[in-house]
Amino acid sequence: MRILLVEDEAGIVQFLQQGLEEEGYTITTASDGELGLKLLLNEDFDLVLLDWMLPKITGLEICKSFRELDKTTPVIFLTAKDTVQETIEGLQAGANDYIKKPFSFDELVERIKIHFRNSEATQILSLGPIEINLNKHLVSSYKSEVTLTHREFELLHYLVKNKGKVCTRTQIIEDVWNIHFDYDTGVIDVFMNSIRKKLNLKKEDDYIKTIRGVGYIAND
Indicate if 34 and 62 belong to the same structural domain. Answer: yes
Check pLDDT > 90 for residue 198.
yes
Question: In Å, how far from its chain's centre is CA 164?
Answer: 15
Question: What one-character-per-residue DSSP string does 13-61 give?
Answer: HHHHHHHHHHTT-EEEEESSHHHHHHHHHHS--SEEEEESS-SSS-HHH
Average the pLDDT over each of 15-19, 70-74, 95-99 and give the range with the smallest value: 70-74
120 confidence band (pLDDT: 50, 70, 90): low
**In angstroms, rounded to a whole number, what is the distance separating the alpha carbons of residues 177 and 154?**
9
Q: 196: domain range?
A: 124-218
**Rg value, the chain, Cα:** 19
CATH of the domain at 204: 1.10.10.10
Angle CA 76–79–83, to nearest 5: 105
Percent of the chain with pLDDT over 90: 53
Indicate if 193 and 158 belong to the same structural domain. Answer: yes
Question: In Å, how far from its chain's centre is CA 51?
Answer: 19
